[in-house]
Amino acid sequence: MFIGIDASRALRARRTGTENYSLQLIRHLLALGSEHTFRLYCDRVPPDRVFGSEATPELRVMPFPRLWTHARLSWEMVRQPPDVLFIPAHVLPLHHPRRSVVTIHDLGYLRYPEAHTRRQRTYLRWSTGWNAHQSAHLLLDSETTKSDLVARYRVPPEKMTVVYPGWDETLRPLTDAAALAAVRARYGLDRPYILHVGTLQPRKNLVRLVEAFARMRDADLRLVLAGKKGWLAEPIYRKVEELRLGDAVRFPGYVEDADLSALLSGAACFAFPSLYEGFGFPVLEAQVCGTPVVASNISSVPEVAGDAALLVDPHDTEALAAALARVLHDGALRTDLIEEGFANVQRFSWRRCAEQTLAVLESVGRG
């Protein structure tokens, strides 16, 4: 079978959740060593061995100045369509094979429209509806997203398969004191810290996290909000100024992959009070690194965190502050959360994700 994959999002220099999903899933699909032929459609020349040291897929590099998906990739689908087209992290081109599979990661723009510009909302509504109704089959990261699609777009359940993503296997608990100290020094972290990793945007609920941190009144503690600045991030900075937290809240920006294990492992606690997630990769990343997690009890977060996080109502600032304080000061709870976190992450793997994804692609290809 000739399987074509849109690899454009996997080649972004600074990848966030869906782009990492694309890269990791492509790597593990190729590593399965199946009898199928994979062709990767790229909008730029990929870095050497980015898809794995032993991977030898067909590459179709197609630079194009604008509208790469709907113009250039569409033309490729007209010219030489694959048996099955897989779109792991974007939208189906206007011209596509009848046998096309798309992953839809979340419908956060419907739950929290204020977190997006009007233009983004318009495009996301169109692209999600287009993917939902034009594809032969949909992959979802969680049961939450599947339920949202049934309710909002009336997609038949039999047209969808939930396939859980995995976690970055380069992450690990780091205990080397020198390595931890080097990363702390690089990010200016001279005190114990609560960590959040993710794009700074409204649905991450970071204004409320800052308020909860302020209520803890611990002068020896820092709050680190790591991630690139997103849409409507300014209220977070204003809240820090309003509460006169000054240097107690740090904004280190995007964290490079090489530093992530150390930054997570060195944290006293990982805070993830998100108002909506299609999956919630950072929860697993913290658990992999042996960091106790406080997270929201809504959307897909409980589905991902399992029993290995202290879950709270993300709208309740007092409850969030109390949960953070409890994890910081209750040694037995910390130990339980860390051990349960190590067990929880075993439910997720990229190899399993790739195997289940390939089974869907094969089924669609035979249909």
pLDDT tens digits, one per residue of 324-350: 999 999 999 999 999 999 999 999 999
258 and 245, same structural domain? yes
**Structural domain of 311:** 177-347
pLDDT at 109: 87
At 16 the pLDDT is 81
Residues 166-195: pLDDT tens digits? 998 899 999 999 999 999 999 999 899 999
Look at residues 317, 44, 304 and name the one whose alpha carbon lies nearest to residue 206: 317
Between 288 and 113, the more confident residue is 288
- Same domain (yes/no): 187, 198: yes
CATH number, residue 83: 3.40.50.2000
Same domain, 77 and 220: no
| Same-domain status, 287 and 360 | no
pLDDT at 46: 94
Averaged pLDDT of the chain: 94
Tell me what pLDDT residue 338 has.
98
The pLDDT of residue 127: 95
The pLDDT of residue 159: 97
Q: Please check whether residue 172 lies inside any domain of the structure.
A: no
Tell me the per-residue pLDDT of 12-70, one tens digit each, with 9 for 90 and over.
Answer: 888 888 999 999 999 999 999 778 999 999 999 999 889 987 777 899 999 999 999 99
pLDDT at 311 over 80: yes
Does residue 357 share a domain with residue 338? Answer: no
Assess whether 33 and 56 both reside in one domain. Answer: yes
Same domain assignment for residues 161 and 207: no
For residue 83, the model assigns a pLDDT of 97
Say whether both 182 and 159 belong to one domain. no
Q: Indicate the pLDDT class of residue 306, thresholds 50, 70 and 90.
A: very high
Task: Say if residue 343 is in the same domain as residue 356.
Answer: no
User: Same domain for 320 and 354?
Assistant: no
Same domain, 242 and 334: yes
Output the pLDDT for position 105: 95
> Are 204 and 149 members of one domain?
no
Residue 56: per-residue pLDDT: 79
135 has a pLDDT exceeding 90: yes
Instruction: Using the predicted structure, report yes or no on whether residue 257 has a pLDDT greater than 80.
Output: yes
